[in-house]
Amino acid sequence: MPPKRNDCGVSARRVRSFLEEPIHTPDFAARLQEANDIFRDLRIQSADLYAKKVLLQYMAIRAFRPETVVETGVANGVSSAYILLALQKNERGALHSVSLKDPSTFQSENRSAGSCRNRRDPD
């Protein structure tokens, strides 16, 4: 019986193998450890370098092999690093990251999405 394939044409076994790739890629693993040490020394708690969500993103990009990936919000670059590794392993694709350079240029008068406006706009 042939292996079951999902909608992206990749066997479930192959998709699961993608989860191990980042940590078994020597240069990436070394950089990840360096970043982990830096984040720990700086007491940056939001940087989970081994989070399941980045592994799921990595796995999806490896399986679907997109030409273009758009990332909205770039905090500390962890997701970007995993996405770029996946694209490199795929030997194709480009990452376009979109983030506010200076979040202080936006003001929220109350916490609803419709109330955010650019400070440069006249009242």
DSSP string, 52-99: HHHHHHHHHHHHH--SEEEEE--SSSHHHHHHHHHHHHHT--EEEEE-
SS3 114: helix
pLDDT of residue 84: 95
pLDDT in tens, the chain (123 residues): 555 555 678 888 898 899 899 989 999 999 988 888 887 888 766 566 667 788 999 999 999 999 999 988 877 788 899 999 999 999 999 999 887 765 554 443 333 233 333 333 344
Q: Which of 7, 17, 2, 6 is nearest to 89 (CA)?
A: 17
Phi, psi of 102 (to 5 degrees): -140, 95
- pTM greater than 0.85: no
| Residue 43 burial (10 A CB sphere; 0-12, 13-18, 19+) | exposed
